[in-house]
Amino acid sequence: MQTFITTPAPEIYYSDGPIKAGPILGFDYKDTKNVAYTLYNKNYGTFQRFQGFSILLDDATKSQSGDQLDFYIESDRGIPSYISIYNIVVTNNTRQRLYVTKAEMEKLGVGKFWLYGSITSGNRVYIISPRTLEFQKP
């Protein structure tokens, strides 16, 4: 019998770095009108080289080699024309981080999105609590 365990929502980071992002992300960090600068007052000199964002799953979802990670980025506007789907067989025993490229953000477009998923480990299913995120263009 499967056991279901709810885990906290993932954390969102700028690019692949250690700096946590706010709930609204812009597409092009080279654009001085990006929300990173206009809303969050980030340093252009540091951020202009960034692209995309990363999703770091909570430590409670630390997985083992062979676990199945299923993660989705879906528009809150109803049936989306495009949805990002990550189906990954875990190959290491660590906290999982997913990278979302600028190109993938462009496919999703502007708007608000739900980020959610699960990790299946044997007879345990870790339900990753959803997080919302908004993409804006200057």
pLDDT of residue 51: 93
Report which of residues 116 and 77 the model is more confident about.
Answer: 116
**pLDDT given for residue 20 in this prediction:** 96
Mean pLDDT within 98-117? 94
State how far the alpha carbon of 2 is from the alpha carbons of 10, 52, 64, 121, in Å: 23, 35, 17, 10
CATH architecture of 3-136: Sandwich (2.60)
Residue matched to tokens 């299946």: 120
Residue 3 has pLDDT above 90, yes or no: yes
Do 51 and 86 touch, CB atoms closer than 8 A?
no
How does pLDDT run across 5-50, given as a tens digit for each residue? 999 999 999 999 899 999 999 999 999 999 999 999 999 999 999 9
Distance separating alpha carbons of residues 104 and 7, to the nearest angstrom: 26
Tell me: the pLDDT tens digits for 25-37? 999 999 999 999 9
Give residue 61's pLDDT. 84
pLDDT digits (tens, 9 = 90+) for 55-94: 999 998 888 999 999 999 998 887 767 899 999 999 988 8
Question: Do residues 95 and 59 make contact, with C-beta atoms less than 8 angstroms apart?
Answer: yes
Give the helix/strand (H/E) hosting 75: strand 68-75
Whole-number pLDDT of residue 63: 87
Q: In sequence order, which residues have a C-beta less than 8 Å from that of residue 96 and are 6 or more positions away?
A: 56, 57, 61, 63, 69, 88, 90, 119
Rg of the Cα trace of the chain? 16
Task: Please count the CA atoms within 13 angstroms of the CA of 75 that sit on its side-chain side.
Answer: 14
Q: Determine the pLDDT at residue 80.
A: 62
What is the C-alpha to C-alpha distance for residues 109 and 50, in angstroms, rounded to an integer? 18
